Structures are given as C-alpha cells and as structure tokens.
Amino acid sequence: MTAPAAPDLLALAPAMSHALARWLEVEAATRDRSPHTITAYRADLLAFLAFLGGHHGQAATPKSLADLRQTDMRAFAAAERARGLGARSLARRQSAVRSFLRWMSDREGYDLSAALSTRSPKYTRSLPRPLTPDQAQDTLDMVAVGHDTPWVAARDTAVMTLLWGCGLRISEALNLNGADWPFRDSLTITGKGERQRHVPVLPVARAAVADYLHQCPWPLAPDQPLFRGVRGGRLSSGIIDSVMRNARAALGLPPTATPHALRHSFATHLLAAGGDLRTIQELLGHASLSTTQVYTGVDDAHLMAVYQAAHPRG
C-alpha cells in the first residue's frame, strides 16, 4: 500500500508569508540592499522556514518562532551541511536568518536570544586573485588585437581599461549610456544597492573610450548604450568574458584571470602604491570596510612570497 503524500511544508502560512515579504521590503528600503541580495535573502529564509516545517511537522508561523531554541538552529545547520552547503554559504544563510529573527523578535515582542546565540561556522575567506601590472597590461594589449573588426577590438579594449583603470564592475561599465560621455575628471557610478560613487577617470581610460567611439559605426545617443554589440544593442557581459578567456589562453594566464580580476587588480595595485583602505573602499563602492580589507591579505601574501624567495635564509 502506498504511503500518503506528506503535506507541502514549503507552502508558508499566510501570516509568515506576509512577515517575510514585509522584512524583505524593509531590508530593501532601509538597509540599501541590492535586488540580488534580496533574492538571496528570500531563498535563505525559504530554506530555513521549509526546514522548520519538516523538523516540527507543521508549517512555521510567526507565533511558533517564539519557541525556537539553539537546538533548532543547530539542526538546521547540520541539515544544510548534510546536503552539501559549504561553510561560507551556510554562514551567509545563517546571517540572513538571524537578521530576520531579530526583526521578528522586535516586531512580535518575544525573546529569541537563545536561538540568536548560535555561532556561524568558521571559514577561510578566499583572497582575490589579481593580475600583476605587467599581466594586466599584456591582457589589454592582447585584447587590442584580438578581433578582426577594428571597432570591436577598440570597444573591448575600452571596456577592459575601465575595469582596470577605474575599478568598475563589468555590469557598471556596460550600463553606461551615451549621456555619460564625455567623461569628466570623475565618473558617477551607480553600483550595488543603488549606491552612487564618484570614480576618477584616468586619461588613458578616457582616450580608450574616445578611440572606440571614433570607430563605432553606431551613433552616440544619450539614451542608448555607450558600449554596443555588433547588432547595435547593449554589449553583454558574456562577450567580455569570452574576450578575456581568449586573452588569458593566449598569454598562459590562470583561470582566475577574469574580467572581475581586473577590478581586483585595480584595488591591489592602489594598495601597493600606498592607497588607504577607506579611499579604496569608496572607489570600489563597498558598503563595508571589511569587504575592502581582504585586499590587505593579498598584499601581505605577496610580501611574504617575495620575502621567502629573496631572503638568503628563505
């Protein structure tokens, strides 16, 4: 005889669904969270609430959250690790869950201190893999001759120059429109969470974009993309990824040599030249200084490698 199907515990109770939606709205409005972050938070909380439903045999409700204990949080962590979630991803998921629970405890007036005291797993934050200045320059030189159509080669070079010379994310460079040209001494960039920052523009970056626009067959219009695909639409990040793959294959660079590695290179080279972390944080558009501090690890690792290679007792 076939066993009856288990109830669909993924379906949230209406009150819980409303609470989750409201919390996400608050995060987006008051914490300046990006759409990508809100999507990730929603997935994190749905995983947690679905676990509670299976763990307790009934859908979680705002009222039932008042009974959460440290054992429930540990069981959730164990279940997530058992299905293959890494320590870093689990730590991010638990952070989202704790934020939601703190908001719920304030809103509903119950004490969740026991559940909130659960620690996240420790993990080693991976260091960015920047290119050396010579590797970055060689990449730009390779891109400049990497396409049979001159204006396309000039376009790809201009995009890559903005990534390395201004520390832009690939999406930020490709979202530029005709209205952003001509570049002045600084460029206003809208990054993650709709945060705006002002990024100085090096003459070499301005010249690279000017060369591309001089050759581009598509007219420059304020409301149209600055960087065009061959059919005139907005250039896609996949094209730049492909350009970078070809360049690193030709130069023998590692797989970590991606378009985003040029942004890492921007930060690392500034730090090596004496730039302070606060300034680099502002130029990169990081919401938290702790995100920028990872580049000090890159610099320390480089110094140690040089020391071990050069010291007579190394």
Of 33, 93, 155, 263, the active-site residue reads 263
Q: Point out the catalytic residue in the list 286, 302, 307, 311.
A: 286
Contact by Cβ (8 Å): 104, 67: no
- From 169, 197, 264, 269, the catalytic residue: 169
Query: In the annotation, is 260 catalytic?
Result: yes
CB-neighbour burial class of residue 293 (10 A; exposed 0-12, middle 13-18, buried 19+) = middle
Indicate if 56 belongs to the active site.
no
First to last CA, the chain: 72
- State the Cα–Cα distance between residues 87 and 90, nearest whole angstrom: 5
Is residue 260 within 8 A of residue 170, CB to CB? The reply is yes
Concerning whether 286 is annotated as a catalytic residue, the answer is yes
Q: Which residues does residue 177 pair with via DSSP β-bridges, in sequence order?
A: 225
* Rounded Cα–Cα distance for residues 70 and 198 (Å): 45
Selected catalytic residue, list 88, 92, 98, 260 = 260
Enumerate the H helices of the chain as residue ranges: 14-30, 35-56, 70-82, 87-108, 113-116, 133-144, 150-166, 170-174, 203-215, 237-251, 259-272, 277-284, 289-292, 294-310
| Among 88, 192, 245, 302, the one annotated catalytic | 192
Four-CA torsion 73, 74, 78, 80, nearest 10 degrees: 20
- C-alpha torsion sign, points 92, 98, 104, 106: negative
- Which amino acid does the sequence have at 180? D
What angle, rounded to 10 degrees, do the helices at 87-108 and 14-30 form? Answer: 100
295 a catalytic residue: yes
**Residue 189 in 3-state DSSP?**
strand
Q: How many angstroms from the chain centroid is the CA of residue 94?
A: 18
Q: Which two tokens stand for residue 162?
A: 């903005």
Catalytic positions, please? Answer: 169, 192, 260, 263, 286, 295
